[in-house]
Structure 1
Amino acid sequence: MTRYQDRIDAGRQLGRLLAPRIDGPVIVFGVPRAGVQVAAPVAEYLHAPLMPVLVRKVGLPEQPDVVVGAIDADGSMVFARTGRDSGLLPGETESMGEDVAMRLLRWRQYFGTPDPATVLQGHVAVVVDDAVISGLTTESAVGFLQRRGASRIVVAVPAGLDASLQRLEKLGAEVVCPLRVKTAAEITAAYDHLPEVSAEEVAHLLARGGPSRPQGVDAEPLAERSVRLVDGAAVSHKAILRLPTGMGPNPAVVLAGSGTEPGTSTGEVLAVRLAEAGIASIRLHLAGGAAAAAVLELALDVLSARPEVDAFRLGLLVAEEAAGAGVEVGEHDRRVAALALLDPPGGVEPPDRCLVVQGGAFDPRAIDRIARWFGDRLRPA
């Protein structure tokens, strides 16, 4: 029988299981509060942003543990099979739903959560909770994300009741659950420790992992800024630094060569996806002035000097005509822990353990592959 030390251990095991199954850009959605604690290590393994999906159980007023339904941030409710036959009048059900909806509103304000519709397009939505028992909150989350435009939803939980998981599959969700059981007692027995998870802990996990801006948590916002980069020939090279959200220091990658420079759509999309994976980047123009290798070294120096960047976790992503300079720097500069070449010319010999991407045009799948490759090397889970 699968066992977990705690929710964090469960999230790590779940992340290892999910990583080879998810292809393409991902957003991980944790069900507050305990589900966010499981979702955080899952997001790290997938090198994906972490967000909460605001759903909550609805229980009887006198017996909160008797769950009759669940409600999402839109106020839409789903009911247990016995929920509508629980003896409650329609007005009572509506009143209970309103009370829980107000709590969700307070959560949204406290966690500083953006609407998922603004980021979901083109992403796989992975919904994570610590367990599925009734399945109502997860069902509510699936419906909420479907209305927000999610085309593929994966429900990932360490343990769950088989009957409830089958209902979720009938809704169109893919289910990944290492431990499918018959009784709730078997779920509890799978964990050695299940401590309470506070809203403050959830807020800090969200601040480190994604676009949420929790109240009272000091996290550096996702941002771009121009950087002054002047080479040994006194030539200024345009450079843009992009930092991920959350608390650093973070690993960083230098982007250089045709198609990755400031002002190019591919360069911007690469920088955004790297930031989602928790990796800073600096993209720059190499043309003019000192040799390309010297400018790449200068960019590494600039990154190493910044307090937001971990100087021991740096990478190079160089394209086309810059590939040769990238190989030269990567072979002798010990700061370079990962090297990727985009469309290198025929005369360039890629070193061992180097990622080579051919094709010219980079679709979201190729860009996601690049970001995950850097994440595996610079942000190992």
Structure 2
Amino acid sequence: MMCGSAIIRARSRRFETMVVFADRVDAGSQLAERLLHLRDRDVVVLGLPRGGVPVAFAVAEALHAPLDVIVVRKLGVPYQPELAMGAIGEGGARVLNPEVLTLTGVTAEELGTVERRERTLLDERVASLRMGRERLDLTGRTVVIVDDGIATGSTARVACDVARHLGAATVIMAAPVVPAETVGNHPGADEVVCVLAPRQLVAVGNHYRDFSATSDEEVVVLLDAAAKRMRNGRVVGDDVARDVEIPADGVLLEGHLRLPEGAAGIVVFAHGSGSSRHSPRNQFVAEVLLRAGLGTLLLDLLTADEEPNRSNVFDIELLANRLTAATAWLRHRPETAQFRIGYFGASTGAGAALWAAAEPGSDISAIVSRGGRPDLAGARLPLVQAPTLLIVGGADEVVLELNRQAKARLHCRSRLTVVDGATHLFEEPGTLAAAANLAADWFSRYLIAEPTGS
């Protein structure tokens, strides 16, 4: 297999073990800066599930390129499965390691048995992630394969080989952090692009503040959102997507505003303690809301200097005042002045959302609390008029009881929905998707459709 020599595009670091990425979204944004020379060219971005897909989503968005996944399965030697004798991918792609096959004496029959088993697993994996979408054609195109980091490089190497087998003309391997020795010896790629290339890489996760697991549900939502953004290989619509700064209490609050074409409602996110606009969980929920035709404003209610002070995190009045300031900012923006506004609160952010909604003349159309602390709104609860949905994990027993008590004090239309098996952060498979869909239904009902009943 012919390919060009690897080219390293990395930023040198004096302290190579330091954390440099807030999360996968931040890592994707930094990585995209090193790939901007590919913007608006015939490029396909392929994310390696699961953790590589959030990174790839940010890259594809920056490059105005379509996004897909590349799923590969190792073909392990029958009596030593950890030793790869080859790998397979979609479209019948197969790459073999003749040296391993010769040394191990694996027969054609044994190879076929292993391949049939792995092909079944690969097809099931692809079906669960693509949800009926067709694989993007790679023939003659430049392909950027993205992961959240490369340790040994074996999976990345196989992915590059499979992409080339599927017709890619140029294969670029891109990851936020890659060991220097791997970057310099990556025969499957024409080019290797990274942000950080340490001489000694202990663990990829050491370079992330948030390296929580990515779920299949998150991957599906990101692929759906990317597909909606593209038509015939080009960016479509007049969607607004930009970082914003909102003045409040003498400081500037950082946020990210997204308005899908035709939106008539917008949801402002009030993050909980220890979270931010970069939170993968909040971004996942935001993508679900965007698919429902709702705008989103992911907002940090505290500045970077204020966040370390834990008293600020639990100052519900302060957070509510910031939320009110952000709402006023939206009311004065030409593109959002006529929108119905909803609040999505998590943890302490839910208390702030209810507090702010109880202000006279707040005109908030709907509220959703996910694993929230509505009880922190205290005496303000009976004053809330906006229809309120409280979503709590069934295994989050203490918070569930606090939500029951808070609901009893609400005089507005309200509902308490329990997601079975979910803990406080909704980290269990399928639970975050369930909460996001509940939120989308509630907001669609009160921000898009005319309210009907309770």
- 5+ residue gaps, structure 2: 1-15, 241-260, 266-291, 298-332, 337-454
The partner residue of 2:49 within 32, 50, 66 is 32
1:189-338 equivalences in 2 (<5 Å)? 189-210=206-227, 244=229, 273-275=234-236, 279=238, 308=293
Give CA deviations for 1:244-270 in whole Å, capped at 9, x if unaligned: 46xxxxxxxxxxxxxxxxxxxxxx97x
Residues 70, 78 of structure 1: 8 Å contact kept: yes
The partner residue of 2:153 within 131, 135, 139 is 135
The partner residue of 1:116 within 126, 132, 136 is 136
SS of the counterpart of 1:44?
helix
Q: Quick one: distance in 1 between partners of 2:84 and 2:179?
A: 16
Partner of 1:104: 122
Sort the Cα spacing of 1:47 and 1:93 in 2 relative to 1 into closer, same or farther, 3 A: same
Q: Percent identity, aligned pairs only?
A: 29
SS of the counterpart of 1:153?
strand
Partner of 2:23: 6
Q: Quick one: distance in 1 between partners of 2:206 and 2:79?
A: 28
Partner of 1:297: none
Give CA deviations for 1:297-348 in whole Å, capped at 9, x if unaligned: xxxxx95779958699xxxxxxxxxxxxxxxxxxxx9659xxxxxxxxxxxx
Sort the Cα spacing of 1:147 and 1:9 in 2 relative to 1 into closer, same or farther, 3 A: same
SS of the counterpart of 2:235?
helix
Q: Residue 72 in 1 paired to residue 92 in 2?
A: no
Q: Quick one: distance in 2 between partners of 1:163 and 1:92?
A: 34
Sort the Cα spacing of 1:172 and 1:8 in 2 relative to 1 into closer, same or farther, 3 A: closer
Partner of 1:160: 178
Sort the Cα spacing of 1:60 and 1:144 in 2 relative to 1 into closer, same or farther, 3 A: closer
Sort the Cα spacing of 1:204 and 1:309 in 2 relative to 1 into closer, same or farther, 3 A: closer
Sort the Cα spacing of 1:135 and 1:273 in 2 relative to 1 into closer, same or farther, 3 A: same
Q: Quick one: distance in 1 between partners of 2:213 and 2:102?
A: 32
Residues 263, 293 of structure 2: 8 Å contact kept: no
Sort the Cα spacing of 1:303 and 1:158 in 2 relative to 1 into closer, same or farther, 3 A: closer
Q: Quick one: distance in 1 between partners of 2:82 and 2:210?
A: 21
Q: Following TM superposition, by how much is the alpha carbon of 1:280 offset from its aligned partner in structure 2, in angstroms?
A: 6.4
Look up the equivalent residue of 1:70 and give its one-letter code: A
Give the TM-score normalised by the residue count of structure 2: 0.43
Q: Quick one: distance in 2 between partners of 1:198 and 1:68?
A: 29
Aligned length: 235
Sort the Cα spacing of 1:19 and 1:33 in 2 relative to 1 into closer, same or farther, 3 A: same
- Please, what is the CA RMSD of the aligned residues? 3.9
Sort the Cα spacing of 1:145 and 1:94 in 2 relative to 1 into closer, same or farther, 3 A: same
- 5+ residue gaps, structure 1: 211-221, 223-243, 246-267, 282-301, 313-332, 337-381
Q: Following TM superposition, by how much is the alpha carbon of 1:63 offset from its aligned partner in structure 2, in angstroms?
A: 7.2
SS of the counterpart of 1:14?
helix
Sort the Cα spacing of 1:22 and 1:166 in 2 relative to 1 into closer, same or farther, 3 A: farther
Partner of 1:43: 60
SS of the counterpart of 1:103?
helix
Give the TM-score normalised by the residue count of structure 1: 0.50
Give CA deviations for 1:82-101 in whole Å, capped at 9, x if unaligned: 85477473344443333222
Higher relative contact order (CA 8 A, sep 6+): 1
SS of the counterpart of 2:27?
helix
Q: Quick one: distance in 2 between partners of 1:132 and 1:38?
A: 13
Q: Following TM superposition, by how much is the alpha carbon of 1:167 offset from its aligned partner in structure 2, in angstroms?
A: 3.8
